[in-house]
Amino acid sequence: MSSALHKKTAGTPSQGEGGDARAGAPRKSPSAPPGSTARRRARAGWLFASPALLVIAAVTVFPVVFSLVLSFCEVRLEYGGLRFGSPTLAHYEALLTHPEWYRALAFTLGFTIVSVSVELVLGTLTALVLERLGAGRGWILALLLLPWALINVIAAQLWSYLFNGTYGAVSWLCEQVFDTQPDILGQPVSAMAAMVAVDVWKTTPFVAIVVLAGLMLIPGDVYEAAEIDGASAWTTFWKVTLPQLRPIVAIAVLFRILQAFGIFDLPFVLTQGGPGTATQSVAILGYRILFQNLDFGGGAAVAVTTAVIVLGCCLLFLRVFRAQVDEGGRA
Amino acid sequence: MSLNRRTLLAGALSAAAAGSLAGCGGKDLDDLLTQAATVPRRPARLTWWVSEIPSRRGSVVADLIIRAFERRHPRIRVSKINALSTSDGNRSAIATQLAGGSPQPDVYLGDTTWPAQFGHSALALPVEKLLPSGFWDAYPAALRTSSTYRGTAYAVPFFTDSTYLFYRKDLLAKHGLRVPRSWEELLRTSRTVQQAGDVQAGFLWQAAVTESLTANVTEFLADAGATVLDGRGRAVLGGAEAERAFSLMAEFTARGVTPRTVATDEESDAQDAFVNGRGLFLRNWSYAWVNASTPGVSRVAGKIGAGPRPGFEGTGRSGVSCAGGWSNFVNPSSQELGAAMEFARFCAGDEVQRLLAREAGVIPAMTSVLGSPEAHAAGDPAVLRAADLRLVARPVQTPYYPQVSKALYTPANAVVRGSLSPADGVRAAREGLRTALEGKAL
């Protein structure tokens, strides 16, 4: 960051060197070497930024580092608070050798892949429709954003009423159609499907809005050129629209992967991780280990492993995406 | 001044280390107990972490208790911290606060399943030596058992909760049937009334993968004569008795007496179905009486009765009721241990227990108050019949109780859904219990 500041200063005429002194900027001594000015400015920059950096460190860096310390230490609770013992890998060993962690990871990965894929397809389709709408697009956008604007726990509670086997509207509808009382949240497959459906309902508008923004940025002359070349609508979509959308879609997918991987509120409210442990996400598992079992080291190990995995997934996605863009560019 | 990423990382690590040290323990227990043994004569301020106590007449019960305490101890002021009413949510919030060494709250209301875990984790002060001799004679034995870990009590009684069989007396009268005394009779009675088209569900209970199911499983196992843990805390679940209990849970759903949605039902779901007239029988905690018998809230108000849960045919025993409720715990990091302990003792005493019988929709912990004029005046059968119940404590005498509970409710839920046979369910529960008790379960 320091070097970036240095380059910017060196490349731009400063007020002191030849700029407008009437603006009130202190006049720099002509004898002072340019490097020392840059260093002084960098120091001032750090000084002014330090309060904000301290706040960021307190709310972001400290918890992350503290979690790392917790996960690699023997942690005991004693009268007066936590007591840290010797360094250990026991928390990770216990986690990585337990089938429940793998089940939770499998559910979370499956949920992330399925829900993000469906949201991406539906969100893109919705954005394409919205782009062609004239009057009333604002109203439809506002309506579409309602699910996204709802607080997650409230949305989950709303759907738990709808899925409720006794008085839920969805259950009632299924009963009318199939003549049998369904147990939507009580069976593993239907519970997972219900969870994906709720997430798609809630988050597709977000993807649609992001993709719509990307669509509106595509210049019209590109489409005109495709039309002159005689490209069909289908070809135009695949050869023109989609490649142009790639950067914005990548951002949307990245956000969604990060959110979906940390899913907690939906299974917590809808199924408490059940039936059995079928919908137990890694976040729910971490919550149980940390807050129910009061195993601080184990809970921190879940958090750290999850962070590493999700980071790996995002990096992998970006690498694959970049390769695709490069191929597209060469083509 | 050279600030770069390395410097920032070093700073963060130092801060984390400083934070770690700040949170370090190391207080001497004897010193804490000495402080807690003396009620201060100087002015003191206490904070009480308390969730909403159900009220009979609309008053805020916690405030009534605080005012009564302050009248007796004019130098001590108590303020209230409103806590969540769910046991799990409450535990998460209070445990993280106490683990950080916070001196507040001084006293906190906690579930009767917490003492072993909280005692083991030094989140609660051992109160055994701070209670007068013969103290526990005034309270149910099951409450003493659940409050004790390794011979020491970590919680002071406040109010208990018990489960009952609620029933539609109008429908039983219509069909000339009596309140069932056994589970087998309950199955027959339910089918009779269901087949007549008078009610959708025969028996409503709770089998979601939560603590709710653990309480139910504990009851069914005790009904059948099975034991979860032995006196030394080892897993001994098994045998024909345990299979009989698990078979009954499967039979309810297999025969249509209980809807399959029971696998996701908690107390509020089952209660909602019952007060809307969808069930003939309901197993629930005592508070369901107030909700189900209040006109305007319940469609079955005036048509219901409450009694002990049935037992199994041939055992010669009536059913048991799970011992639940909430007790007061003292924060070991409190700066006012003497006053805090006095407040906890006061809440367990005769004055507050009578106040609970008069004003609160809960069962006072003190056995003698259950037959008091205040309890008779309230007329709540859940309170009046509480002394007649056979209580069973959940297997809470282990610091790994959340894992033990999970080891019970996970296979039991699969048995109820029909995806695991009762025999396999018992086997899975036993294996899960062993892993949990070794501290190896997640």
Distance CA A226, CA A233 (A): 9
- pLDDT at residue number A15: 41
Nearest to B309 by CA among B179, B175, B431: B179
- pLDDT at residue number B48: 98
- pLDDT at residue number B56: 81
CB < 8 Å from B in window 243-272 of A? 271-272
Determine the distance in angstroms separating the CA of A129 from the nearest CA of chain B, rounded to an integer. 39
Q: Read off the pLDDT band of B330 (50, 70, 90).
A: very high
> Which residues, other chains included, contact B255 with Cβ-Cβ below 8 Å and sequence gap of 6+?
B187, B191
Average pLDDT, chain B: 91
- pLDDT at residue number B363: 92
Determine the distance in angstroms separating the CA of A54 from the nearest CA of chain B, rounded to an integer. 10
Chain B contacts of A178, Cβ < 8 Å? none
Q: Is the pLDDT confidence value at A5 over 70?
A: no
Distance CA A98, CA A64 (A): 24
Partner residues linked to B79 by β-bridges: B47
Q: How many residues comprise chain A?
A: 331
H-helix or E-strand spanning residue A259: helix A242-261
- Asked whether the beta carbons of B318 and B310 are under 8 A apart, the reply is yes
Distance CA A61, CA B11 (A): 10
Determine the distance in angstroms separating the CA of A65 from the nearest CA of chain B, rounded to an integer. 6
DSSP A289: I
Q: Residue range A166-182: average pLDDT?
A: 83
Q: Residue range B344-364: average pLDDT?
A: 95
Q: What is the dihedral of CA A309, A310, A312, A314, to 10 degrees?
A: 170
- pLDDT at residue number B327: 97
pLDDT in tens, A115-140: 999 999 999 999 999 988 877 888 88
Q: Residue range B281-295: average pLDDT?
A: 90
Q: Is the pLDDT confidence value at B277 over 80?
A: yes
Q: Residue range A19-34: average pLDDT?
A: 49
Q: Minimal Cα distance from A290: which residue of B?
A: B92
Q: Read off the pLDDT band of B406 (50, 70, 90).
A: very high
Using DSSP's 3-state secondary structure scheme, residue A243 falls into helix
Q: Read off the pLDDT band of B329 (50, 70, 90).
A: very high
Distance CA B227, CA A185 (A): 31
Instruction: Give burial (CB, 10 Å; 0-12/13-18/19+) of B155.
Output: buried
Chain B contacts of A61, Cβ < 8 Å? 8, 12, 15
Q: Which residue has the higher pLDDT, B231 or A90?
A: A90
* Type of residue numbered A130: L
- Asked whether the beta carbons of A265 and A151 are under 8 A apart, the reply is no
pLDDT in tens, B135-156: 999 999 889 989 999 999 999 9
- What string of DSSP letters covers B313-365? TTS-----EE-EEEEEEE-TT-S-HHHHHHHHHHHHSHHHHHHHHHHBSSEES
CA atoms within 13 A on the CB side of A128: 14
Q: Which of B117, B264, B299, B417 to mutate to test the interface with A (most CBs of A within 10 A)?
A: B264
Q: Read off the pLDDT band of B297 (50, 70, 90).
A: confident
B1 close to A (CB below 8 A):
yes
pLDDT in tens, A63-86: 899 999 999 999 888 887 788 889
DSSP A239: I
A33-42, B24-33, B199-208: which is most confident: B199-208
pLDDT-above-70 percentage for chain A: 87
Chain B contacts of A77, Cβ < 8 Å? 25, 99, 121-123
Q: Is the pLDDT confidence value at B19 over 90?
A: no
- pLDDT at residue number A313: 87
Q: Is the pLDDT confidence value at B347 over 60?
A: yes
- Asked whether the beta carbons of A323 and A250 are under 8 A apart, the reply is no
Distance CA B383, CA B289 (A): 10
Give ipTM to 2 decimals: 0.81
pLDDT in tens, A187-207: 899 999 999 999 999 999 999
Q: In what order do the strands lie in the sheet with B363-364?
A: B76-82, B44-50, B107-111, B324-330, B156-161, B363-364
- pLDDT at residue number B26: 63
CB atoms within 10 A of CB B376: 13
> Which residues, other chains included, contact B80 with Cβ-Cβ below 8 Å and sequence gap of 6+?
B47, B48, B50, B62, B63, B66
* Type of residue numbered B191: R
- pLDDT at residue number A183: 82
B13 close to A (CB below 8 A):
yes
CB < 8 Å from A in window 315-344 of B? 332-333
Q: Which residue has the higher pLDDT, B295 or A16?
A: B295
pLDDT in tens, B409-420: 999 999 999 999
Q: Which residue has the higher pLDDT, A164 or B433?
A: B433
pTM for this structure? 0.82
Cα radius of gyration rounded to whole Å, chain A: 27
Q: Minimal Cα distance from A85: which residue of B?
A: B24
pLDDT in tens, A258-292: 999 999 999 999 998 989 889 999 999 999 999 88
Q: Read off the pLDDT band of A306 (50, 70, 90).
A: very high
> Which residues, other chains included, contact B320 with Cβ-Cβ below 8 Å and sequence gap of 6+?
B219, B222, B223, B309, B311, B389, B390, B391, B392
H-helix or E-strand spanning residue B212: helix B211-224
- pLDDT at residue number B291: 86
| Region of poorest pLDDT, from A91-95, B4-8, B206-210 | B4-8
Q: Which residue has the higher pLDDT, B127 or B145?
A: B127
Q: Residue range B335-356: average pLDDT?
A: 97
Q: Which residue has the higher pLDDT, A81 or B68?
A: B68
How far does CA A280 lie from the centroid of its chain? 19
- What string of DSSP letters covers B241-305? HHHHHHHHHHHHHHTTSS-GGGGG--HHHHHHHHHTT-EEEEEEETTHHHHHTSBTTBTTTTSEE
pLDDT in tens, A134-167: 778 888 888 988 999 999 999 999 999 999 877 8
Determine the distance in angstroms separating the CA of A321 from the nearest CA of chain B, rounded to an integer. 28
Nearest to B4 among A2, A77, A101 (CB): A2
Q: Residue range B351-375: average pLDDT?
A: 93
Please report the beta strands in A103-186, taking only residues with DSSP state E, as ranges in sequence order. none
Average pLDDT, chain A: 85
- Asked whether the beta carbons of A91 and A71 are under 8 A apart, the reply is yes
- pLDDT at residue number B25: 52
- pLDDT at residue number B255: 95
Cα-based distances in Å from B34 to A126, B75, B336, B340? 69, 20, 12, 13
> Which residues, other chains included, contact B221 with Cβ-Cβ below 8 Å and sequence gap of 6+?
B227, B228, B237, B241, B242, B245
Interface touch B260/A165, C-beta < 8 Å: yes
Q: Is the pLDDT confidence value at B439 over 70?
A: yes
A156 close to B (CB below 8 A):
no
Interface touch B91/A65, C-beta < 8 Å: no
* Residues A14, A19, A23, A27, CA torsion sign: positive
Distance CA B209, CA A120 (A): 33
Q: What is the dihedral of CA A139, A141, A142, A145, to 10 degrees?
A: 160
- Asked whether the beta carbons of B341 and B330 are under 8 A apart, the reply is yes
